[in-house]
């Protein structure tokens, strides 16, 4: 099973203004031992397919998919979403990738109202998901998946259940974001496994999570406090997750992601290397 990583593990969440150039990111993700990577925020890696193919080949890397963040709470943004999905899907097809992931934008919501949508807002979200799926799967032949994420309209199990009931979309299931609210990733994976097409592996620091659940720490501040910890160090049983994927014959992408704490003593390269060593040990 190919284990990939993503630019977000290097703190790259926007196309520009990052501490790392795209060349350095590709150098380091390859140096850490990964053979696959996500595209990252659209425009961070080159949009020139031939240039990107050459740069990937030089490092023995492949693009396994992309995760695109969009303001699903704003129904008026639907035309922007569709145009971006067309451009993204076209590039992914030219690179030989099979998957595209979409997720809601947490920063769009007012502070203290993250992920809060009224009925009209929910209807708009569902319609955008349906239209996006028809475009990406119907016209480009890619698998589209939705990524539940903390601080958005799709984060709790009841919200994920509603999304699955009202659409045909597959899931990009993220172990860390699911466990953040003290939900059981393994139990939920068992329940909805046929709808999971893509995996993000993260782990959660139980002590930091407890501070969030008890109201001592905001969701936003929990990232800097290290709520998303290295894979070997958290409350999610990643080994059990991998056993489940193997037992069920999962063939979709498996992507390691690592949000770096403000006081982290390890660099993104060191964290990515340690996470991959942990994953490789599981496979033995």
pLDDT value at residue 123 = 97
Residues 63-118: tens digit of each pLDDT? 999 999 999 999 999 999 999 999 999 999 999 999 999 999 999 999 888 899 99
Lowest mean pLDDT among 134-138, 218-222, 242-246, 253-257: 218-222
Is 176 in contact with 229 (CB distance < 8 Å)? no
Gap between the Cα atoms of 134 and 171, Å rounded: 16
What number of other Cβ atoms are within 10 A of residue 119's Cβ? 7
Task: Give the pLDDT confidence score for residue 111 in this predicted structure.
Answer: 84
Write out pLDDT tens, residues 13-55: 999 999 999 999 999 999 999 999 999 999 999 999 999 999 9
Q: Which H or E element spans position 165?
A: helix 157-166
What average pLDDT does range 246-251 have in this prediction? 96
Give the model's pLDDT for residue 173: 98
- Give pLDDT, residue 195: 98
Instruction: Please give the pLDDT value at position 283.
Output: 75
Ramachandran quadrant class, 264 (left: phi over 0; alpha: psi -120 to 50; beta: rest): beta
List, as one string, the DSSP characters of 58-80.
HTT-EEEEEEEEE-TT-GGGHHH
Residue 223 CA to residue 75 CA, distance in Å, equals 28
- As a whole number, mean pLDDT of residues 173-185 equals 97
Candidate CATH numbers 1.10.510.10, 1.20.1070.10, 3.40.190.10, 3.20.20.150; the one for domain 3-283: 3.20.20.150
pLDDT at 284: 66
Q: How far apart are CA 39 and CA 91, in angstroms?
A: 10
Dihedrals φ, ψ of 140, to 5°?
-115, -10
Domain chopping of the chain, boundaries: 3-283
Assign 221 a pLDDT band (cuts: 50, 70, 90).
Answer: very high
| Nearest CA among 95, 80, 66 for reference residue 131 | 80
- Paired tokens of 25: 């990111």
């Amino acid at each position: 099973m190919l284990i990939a990583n993503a630019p977000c593990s290097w703190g790259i969440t926007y196309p520009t203004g990052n501490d790392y150039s795209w060349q350095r990111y590709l150098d380091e993700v390859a140096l850490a031992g990964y053979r696959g990577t996500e595209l990252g925020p659209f425009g961070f890696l080159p949009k020139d397919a031939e240039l990107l193919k050459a740069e990937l080949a030089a490092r023995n890397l492949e693009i396994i998919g992309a995760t695109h963040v969009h303001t699903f709470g704003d129904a008026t943004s639907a035309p922007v979403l569709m145009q971006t999905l067309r451009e993204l899907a076209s590039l992914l097809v030219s690179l030989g990738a099979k998957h595209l992931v979409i997720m809601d934008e947490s920063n769009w919501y007012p502070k203290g109202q993250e992920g809060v949508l009224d009925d009209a807002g929910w209807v708009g979200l569902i319609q955008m998901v349906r239209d996006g799926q028809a475009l990406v799967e119907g016209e480009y032949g890619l698998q589209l998946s939705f990524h539940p994420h903390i601080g958005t309209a799709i984060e709790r199990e009841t919200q994920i259940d509603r999304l699955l009931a009202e659409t045909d979309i597959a899931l990009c299931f993220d172990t860390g974001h699911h466990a953040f609210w003290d939900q059981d990733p393994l139990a939920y994976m068992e329940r909805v496994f046929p709808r999971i097409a893509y995996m993000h592996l993260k782990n959660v620091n139980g002590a930091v999570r407890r501070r969030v659940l008890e109201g001592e720490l905001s969701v936003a501040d929990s990232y800097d406090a290290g709520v998303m910890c290295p894979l070997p160090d958290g409350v999610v049983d990643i080994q059990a997750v991998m056993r489940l994927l193997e037992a069920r014959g999962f063939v979709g992408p498996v992507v390691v992601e690592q949000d770096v704490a403000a006081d982290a003593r390890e660099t993104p390269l060191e964290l990515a290397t340690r996470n991959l060593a942990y994953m490789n040990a599981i496979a033995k």
